[in-house]
Amino acid sequence: MFWIKDRPALVSAHPIYDITAALPPDAPVVTSPHAFTEQDLRPLLAEAEVLCISMMWRDEFLDLPPNLKMIQSISAGVDHFPMGRLKERNIPLCTAGGTNSRTVAEHTLAFLLNISRRLYAARDDQKVHHWNPPRHGRSDRQSGLRGGLRFRGLKGTC
């Protein structure tokens, strides 16, 4: 990929996280101020060669940066991007698929533990200083049931 200058012009956009703040000072990119809103983003797109974006994509953005060479989506799902138009312009779309897979798996297991042990009920009882006997004894379980979980890791693609 050939950049207009010796380092690509990176524009980042996310409504919550300042992506450029996470870059090291010697990152091999030229950065614009981070865009937290669509209004902030629009004027920055004219100079963008690399667009790092999440939660703000609009198909019309593809027409605004004449030198756009790559898009990095900061999400796993990219079905909202115009794949045909990106292919026509030869702009690769990179995803963040798999970057949070372990965290999502741990979060899922925590929810399952919460539900199976009724931790939400114990929390509510504790708030009102009501101490019940444990609600997770064998009497409220279906005997003979077995379950399993299978998690499949994902890798980001470009």
Distance, CA of 13 to CA of 23 (rounded, Å): 14
- Strand positions, DSSP E, the chain: 9-13, 30-31, 50-53, 70-73, 93-94
Whether 75 and 54 have beta carbons less than 8 Å apart is answered as yes
By the 10 Å C-beta count (0-12 exposed, 13-18 middle, 19+ buried), 52 is classed as buried
pLDDT band at 98 (very low <50, low <70, confident <90, very high): confident
Distance, CA of 103 to CA of 111 (rounded, Å): 12
Distance, CA of 11 to CA of 35 (rounded, Å): 8
**Residue 135 pLDDT exceeds 60:** no
For 13-22, 105-114, 143-152, which range has the lowest pLDDT when averaged over its residues? 143-152
pLDDT in tens, 73-97: 988 789 999 999 999 999 999 988 7
Cα dihedral sign, 109-115-117-118:
positive
pLDDT of residue 158: 42
Backbone angles phi, psi at 71, to 5 degrees: -125, 130
